[in-house]
A and B are shown apart, each in its own frame.
Chain A
Amino acid sequence: MGSRTAGTQQAALRKSGGLTPEQMVQFYRTMYLSRRIDDRELLLKKQQKIFFQISCAGHEALLVAAGMAMRPGYDWFFPYYRDRAICLALGNTVTDQLLQAVGAGTDPASGGRQMPSHWTSVPLNIVSPSSSTATQCLHAVGCAEAGVYWNARPQAALGSYGAGDYRKFKNIHFHNDEVVYTSIGEGSTSQGEFWEALNTASNAKLPVVFVVEDNGYAISTPVETNTPGGNISRLIANFPNFHFSEIDGTDPEESFRAMRDAVAYCRARTRHTPVLAFSER
C-alpha cells in the first residue's frame, strides 16, 4: 500500500462509500478477475472447447459494487446472464464458472445443462435462471414476499415431516432484514414481466433492489427503440414507494455508494423499493 495522510484517508473513505483501501484492492481484483475470465472464455470459444460466451465487460464496476454491498447466503440473488462479476464478488469461484462454460458433469450450477453465465448457487442464494429476459424480476418479487411471509409466520418453517410430504425436502432459512437483488438489461425492460414485477414490488413495498444495466444496446437494437425517451429512469419515476437513482455504472465508487444506499433502504425496512439505473455509456 502507498502512504497517505489521515485527512486524505478520511476523504477517500467518504468518496468510496466506506470502502477501505484493502476493500478497494479487493474490488479491483474482482473486476479484473471477471474480465480475465471473459477473455479466457473467448479464447476457449475460439478453440471450440466451450460453445457459448456471454461477456460482462463494461459492467464490472457496478456488479462488484452490488456484490460487496450485499450478503451472500443471506440476501437473495436473481441476476441475469450479464452478471458474472457480482457472482464472483459473492463467492462464486473461477472454477465454478468455467466448469459451467465447458459443460462439465461437475458444474455446480447445472451439471452441464445450462449455458455459461447462468449463475446458480445454493450456498450463495443465487437462484437458477433461464435465458429468458425479464422472467427473473417476478421470481425476485416472489422471493421477497416469501421472506416477508416467513418472518411473519416463522412457525410455518418448522416441523419434521414424513414420507408423502414435500416439506421433508425443504431447507428454509430467512432473516428479518434480508434483501433481494435482481438485474436486467435496458432492452429487456420492454418486457411486460419487468413492469408486472415493479407493480407488485411498489404495491407491497418489497425489499427488492432492481438494477437496470443500460449498456445502450439490446444485441443490435439501441435503447431508444425500446425505451420511450431513451431513459428508463424517467419512465419509472412516478411509481410510489420507490427509491430511485441513476448512476454512472463505470464509476466504481459512485456505483458502490448507490448500491450501499439502496441495500440500506431495503435492510432498514423503510418499505421502499430501490430501482437503480446504471449506465455503462
Chain B
Amino acid sequence: MPAELEADALRDPIGRMQALLIREGILTEEQVNALEREVEDEVRHAADVALAAPLPLVSSIERHVYSEDLKPTDSVFATPLPPVTDPAERTMADLINHTLRDEMRRDERVVIFGEDVADASRDQHLHSGALKGKGGVFKLTAGLQTEFGSDRVFNSPLAEANITGRAIGMAVRGMKPVVEIQFFDYIWPAMHQMRNELSVMRWRSNGTFSCPIVMRVPIGGYLTGGSIYHSQSGESIFTHTPGVRVVMPSNARDAAGLLRTAIRCDDPVLFLEHKRLYREAFGRAPYPGPDYAIPFGKASTLRTGTDVTLVTYGALVPRALQAAQRLEREKDISAEIIDLRSLSPYDFETVAESVRKTNRVIVAHEDMRSWGFGAELAARIGEELFHDLDAPVRRVASMDTFVAYQPVLEDAILPQAEDLFAAMAELVAF
C-alpha cells in the first residue's frame, strides 16, 4: 500500500501540470509561486467570509418541502361541477383516460411514458392498424400516442428506476412527465429515486430546483387470484416520505378531479389508482368537463351518520357503504362514512368534526394493519380528540401477511364488508 500511495504522488495532476507550465516556458517558478500565493489568499479570505456567514434559521426548516407558490390544497383547484352535457356514466378508467387527454391537449409540456403505455412502440404500426397496441396493460393511456405523437407518449424500457429518474431530469427542465408504474407491486425498483431524489429535490436545493412529476400507479387487491405480486398496497411507505403528495380516489369523478390537480400543481404526486375500482359499477360518473379539479386534502363525506364514524379510502369505500347500509337495515345504527381521497396531505378537520359528533371512530384500509396509514390517523385522533371519544379508536385492515393466490385465503387476508360491519356494530355497543 505505501508503494501504491507513492506512485499516486508521482501522478498528482497538479505536480504534473506545474512541471509542464515551467518546462514549456509558460510560467517561471516565481510566477507559479505568485499564483499559488494569490490562490491561498483567495481561499483564506473565502473561509473567513464563510465562517462569518449567518446560520440558517430554525424557523426555515419546513420551507420548500413543497412548493411555496402553488399548493394543491388551494381553492383555485376547487372548481364547481359544470352542468352535465353527456349523461353517460363513465368508469374510473374512462375518466382517467379522458383527463389525461384533456391535460395533454391543454398543456404541451405533458408527456406520458412507462411500460406498455404506448399504442404501438413501432411507428409504422401506429397508424396502419396492423398491430393493435396496448395503451397500458389496463388501457388507461389508450389512444393517447395516436393523438399526441410518439414524442409525447412512448414506451420506456422495463426498468422502474429508469422511468422515475428520467422523469425527474425532464421535470427539472420544466416538462411535466406523467409516468405510469405498471403495478404498485413493481414500484420498488423506483423506490430509490422516489425516496432520495423525487421527494427531496426542492428541499435540498432550498427551493431552487423542483421536479413536480405525476406517477400513476395501479394498486391493490380484491382481484381474485391477484396473489402476492398483483395485490399489494403500501401507501403508508410513501406518505411517510415528505415532499411527495399521495392521493387515492375511490370513484370516477374524484379520479378526474384529483388527477387534474396532480398534473397542474407544482409538487410531485403519487396518484394511486385502485385496480379493482377501474371498471366497477360503483362510482361511475358522467364526464365532468375539461377543467374540473378537486383540491388535495379535502375528504368527502359519502354518508352522514350519528352513531359511528368510519374513515377510509380506496377499495374499502364501496365496502364501507355496503356495511353501513346493512347496519342501518339490520341494527338501526347510523354510520358516517368518510372517504379521505387524499392521503398526504389528509383532511383531519373533517375527521375531527365527525368524531366530535359520533364519538366513535374506526380507521379502515386495505393495507396491512401494523404500521399502516391507520396507525398514524388513530394516534392523532387519540392525541387530539381524546375527550371526544366514548370508545377506543379501532382499526380494520388486512392481516400482516402478503396476499395469497387462493381466493379462500385472499378473502380472509383482505378486509371485507362483513369485517367493517362487525367492527362498527361492536364499537357502537362498546
Show the binding face of A for B, using Cβ within 8 Å.
1-4, 8, 12, 21, 24-25, 27-29, 31-33, 35-37, 40, 44, 49, 57-62, 76, 78, 93-95, 97-99, 101-107, 109-114, 118, 120, 122, 127-128, 130-132, 135, 137-147, 149-150, 152-153, 155-157, 163-172, 174, 192-193, 196-197, 199-200, 203, 249-253, 280-281
**What residues on B are CB-neighbors of A110 within 8 Å?**
204-206
Asked if B173 lies at the interface with its beta carbon under 8 angstroms from chain A, I say yes
Q: Secondary structure of the A side of the interface? A: helix
* Minimum CB distance partner of A2 in chain B: B25
Complex-state Cα separation, A35 to B169, whole angstroms: 31
Complex-state Cα separation, A192 to B196, whole angstroms: 16
Complex-state Cα separation, A78 to B169, whole angstroms: 10
B14 touches A35 (CB 8 A): yes
Complex-state Cα separation, A57 to B374, whole angstroms: 51
Asked if B80 lies at the interface with its beta carbon under 8 angstroms from chain A, I say no
Asked if B250 lies at the interface with its beta carbon under 8 angstroms from chain A, I say no
Known contacts A94-B42, A118-B204, A250-B12; is A138 also within 8 Å of B50 by CB? no
B56 touches A112 (CB 8 A): yes
Name which of A102, A114, A138, A249 has the most chain B CB atoms within 10 A of its CB. A138
Q: B46 CB to closest chain A CB, in angstroms?
A: 4
Supply 16 further A-B pairs (C-beta < 8 A) apart from A106-B54, A135-B196: A12-B24, A21-B26, A94-B42, A97-B46, A104-B55, A105-B57, A135-B197, A138-B193, A142-B173, A143-B170, A149-B111, A171-B174, A172-B173, A196-B162, A252-B13, A252-B20
A250 touches B27 (CB 8 A): no
Q: Which of A107, A120, A147, A166 has a CB less than 8 Å from the CB of B70?
A: A166
Q: B284 CB to closest chain A CB, in angstroms?
A: 27
Q: Which of B21, B162, B205 has a CB less than 8 Å from the CB of A120?
A: B205
A142 touches B26 (CB 8 A): no
Name which of B35, B44, B46, B57 has the most chain A CB atoms within 10 A of its CB. B46
Complex-state Cα separation, A165 to B108, whole angstroms: 13
Asked if B186 lies at the interface with its beta carbon under 8 angstroms from chain A, I say no
**What residues on A are CB-neighbors of B42 within 8 Å?**
33, 94
B266 touches A200 (CB 8 A): no
Q: Which of A12, A31, A37 has a CB less than 8 Å from the CB of B17?
A: A31
Q: A72 CB to closest chain B CB, in angstroms?
A: 16
Q: B388 CB to closest chain A CB, in angstroms?
A: 36
A169 touches B20 (CB 8 A): no
B35 touches A29 (CB 8 A): yes
30 A-B Cβ contacts within 8 A?
A3-B25, A24-B24, A28-B27, A28-B35, A36-B40, A58-B8, A58-B11, A94-B42, A98-B50, A102-B50, A109-B205, A111-B56, A128-B208, A130-B197, A131-B196, A132-B197, A138-B161, A142-B167, A142-B168, A142-B173, A145-B166, A146-B173, A149-B175, A163-B70, A166-B176, A167-B174, A192-B189, A197-B165, A251-B16, A252-B20
Complex-state Cα separation, A265 to B171, whole angstroms: 26
A166 touches B212 (CB 8 A): yes
* Minimum CB distance partner of A34 in chain B: B14
Asked if B400 lies at the interface with its beta carbon under 8 angstroms from chain A, I say no
B109 touches A139 (CB 8 A): no
Asked if B424 lies at the interface with its beta carbon under 8 angstroms from chain A, I say no
B47 touches A40 (CB 8 A): yes
Known contacts A113-B203, A143-B170, A146-B169; is A252 also within 8 Å of B17 by CB? yes
Q: Which of A103, A138, A165 has a CB less than 8 Å from the CB of B264?
A: A165
Q: Which of A28, A192, A200 has a CB less than 8 Å from the CB of B166?
A: A200
Known contacts A113-B203, A170-B174; is A193 also within 8 Å of B192 by CB? yes
A130 touches B196 (CB 8 A): yes
* Minimum CB distance partner of B113 in chain A: A145
**What residues on A are CB-neighbors of B14 within 8 Å?**
28, 31-32, 35, 60-61
Complex-state Cα separation, A156 to B278, whole angstroms: 32
Known contacts A113-B203, A145-B170; is A25 also within 8 Å of B197 by CB? no
Q: Which of A144, A167, A197, A200 has a CB less than 8 Å from the CB of B109?
A: A167
Complex-state Cα separation, A99 to B52, whole angstroms: 10
**What residues on A are CB-neighbors of B172 within 8 Å?**
127, 139, 142-143, 146
Asked if B60 lies at the interface with its beta carbon under 8 angstroms from chain A, I say yes
Asked if B302 lies at the interface with its beta carbon under 8 angstroms from chain A, I say no
A113 touches B39 (CB 8 A): no
Q: A1 CB to closest chain B CB, in angstroms?
A: 6
**What residues on A are CB-neighbors of B205 within 8 Å?**
109-110, 120, 128
**What residues on A are CB-neighbors of B74 within 8 Å?**
163-164
Q: A87 CB to closest chain B CB, in angstroms?
A: 14
Q: Which of A128, A149, A199 has a CB less than 8 Å from the CB of B157?
A: A199
**What residues on B are CB-neighbors of A33 within 8 Å?**
39, 42-43
**What residues on B are CB-neighbors of A152 within 8 Å?**
151
Complex-state Cα separation, A24 to B165, whole angstroms: 37
Complex-state Cα separation, A172 to B174, whole angstroms: 6
B174 touches A146 (CB 8 A): yes
Complex-state Cα separation, A88 to B21, whole angstroms: 20
Known contacts A142-B166, A169-B70; is A104 also within 8 Å of B192 by CB? no
**What residues on B are CB-neighbors of A12 within 8 Å?**
24
Q: B45 CB to closest chain A CB, in angstroms?
A: 8
The 4 A-B pairs at the shortest CB distance, nearest first, are namely A142-B169, A138-B165, A2-B25, A61-B13
Complex-state Cα separation, A25 to B157, whole angstroms: 46
Q: B7 CB to closest chain A CB, in angstroms?
A: 8
Q: B90 CB to closest chain A CB, in angstroms?
A: 24
Complex-state Cα separation, A46 to B128, whole angstroms: 69
**What residues on A are CB-neighbors of B20 within 8 Å?**
24, 252-253
Complex-state Cα separation, A142 to B209, whole angstroms: 15
A174 touches B13 (CB 8 A): no
